[in-house]
Amino acid sequence: KTQRIAVIPGDGIGNEVMPEGLRVVAAAAAKFDLPLSFQRFDWANCDYWQRTGRMMPDDWFAQLQDFDAIYFGAVGWPALVPDHISLWGSLLRFRREFDQYVNLRPVRLMPGVPCPLANKQPGDIDFYVVRENTEGEYSAVGGRMYEGTERETVLQESIFTRKGTDRILKYAFELANSRPRKLLTAATKSNGIAISMPWWDERVAAMAANYPEVSWDKQHIDILCARFVLQPERFDVVVGSNLFGDILSDLGPACAGTIGIAPSANLNPERRFPSLFEPVHGSAPDIYGRNIANPIGMIWSGAMMLDFLGNGNERYTAAHDAILRAIEATIADGPRTPDMGGTADTTAVGTAIAAAL
Ligand code: NAI
Ligand code: MG
């Protein structure tokens, strides 16, 4: 079956890295004979907002819902549109309305990438952060009272449902169970957040009972952050609520080198709706327009997309693995973009990875 991919470059360097992502995904599709089709959408960006007053057309859901995946660059241009409008008007609507409840980020120290942590070798850092992506601390429930007075009070609720919590924990335990080390760490803060987090811990323990081969523990978010920096080799699969997962999923890639190479997936594992694949970084207004953005995060996200679309099909798995090997070879031998100490431009790196493939 042809896999239909919606292509949304978005803002800023999203437009510079997307052509390189497509170049490499297309090269992999040719090599491994993958039936893919692509359709580009020029909305979900801040120029569209300037022209129309909205981030997306009213029928965006109908336009996208039959795609198998969304390949997404980055959104946000704070000089034109406040971030809460641009992100809540596009990316966060995809995540929520397409029920992409798993945010998955591999954290891996690649050979040749300068590691900001002392004495770490490739192989020492190789884990996944699994973030709950639809509920938890990121809710729109709450409000302001007595505004402008001394009594001004602001309330923001967290929402944890059993369904929402159990499904992210199940995904994380399945992932841990599929990996050689079979380790799982759950982020918590049950010593401070005294209602939701003790309950989260109970759900973790209940889910763990279904996975006797997985060794698991729970760690408070504060010490967990410290261990990401001090002992990243301890981790295999780390699962967290929306807020804790958000923090860990930026900290993890930062510990493994430049943000420019970090990929992510927003998954609807049941495939009722399209899943979305995007680099971790944003639109990088500070470097946009010079074609020096690192395209590896976009390209690696493309590899994750093929792996997910294949759903176990060996040609798709092989395409994913081949792209990762091509990325590794290019990181080791160059060309490299300036964020990795090189002088090459975005196009040169994308072209080199496609050629290595
Ligand atoms: P950012 O990720 O765009 O940039 C942070 C720093 O990393 C900048 O110095 C930038 O030059 C550098 N950088 C980022 N990607 C790079 C790459 N591929 N190669 C080389 N260097 C790279 O984060 P920032 O500046 O906080 O946000 C800019 C805009 O992007 C905002 O509107 C923000 O809301 C949005 N954003 C969007 C995201 C998304 O679409 N998923 C994620 C993060 C931010
Ligand atoms: Mg984040």
Cα(309)–Cα(1) distance, integer angstroms: 11
* CATH number for domain 115-142+155-256, candidates 3.40.718.10, 3.40.50.720, 3.40.630.30, 3.20.20.60: 3.40.718.10
Of the ligands numbered here, which is closest to the C-alpha atom of 243? 2
DSSP bridge pairs for 72? 8
Q: Do domains 1-101+261-357 and 115-142+155-256 have the same CATH topology?
A: yes
pLDDT-derived band of residue 280, with 50, 70 and 90 as boundaries?
very high
As to burial, measured by CB atoms within 10 angstroms (0-12 exposed, 13-18 middle, 19+ buried), residue 323 is: buried
Are the C-beta atoms of 6 and 22 separated by less than 8 Å?
no
pTM of the model: 0.95
CA of 246 to the centre of ligand 2 (A): 5
pLDDT-derived band of residue 114, with 50, 70 and 90 as boundaries?
confident
Q: Give percent of the chain above pLDDT 90.
A: 93
All structural domains of the chain with their residue ranges: 1-101+261-357, 115-142+155-256
Q: Which two tokens stand for residue 252?
A: 């993890």
Are the C-beta atoms of 116 and 137 separated by less than 8 Å?
no
Cβ(264) to ligand 1 under 6 A? Answer: no
The class (CATH top level) of 1-101+261-357 is alpha beta
CA of 54 to the centre of ligand 2 (A): 23
SS (H, E, C) 177-243: HHCCCCEEEEEECCCCCCCHHHHHHHHHHHHHCCCCCCEEEEEEHHHHHHHHHHCHHHCCEEEECHH
pLDDT-derived band of residue 279, with 50, 70 and 90 as boundaries?
very high
CA of 282 to the centre of ligand 1 (A): 3
Cβ(21) to ligand 1 under 6 A? Answer: no
Q: Output the residue whose Cα is nearest ligand 1's atom 22.
A: 260
DSSP bridge pairs for 279? 263
What value does the mean pLDDT take over residues 22-47? 98
Q: Tokens 């052509």 correspond to what residue? A: 19
| ipTM rounded to 2 decimals | 0.98
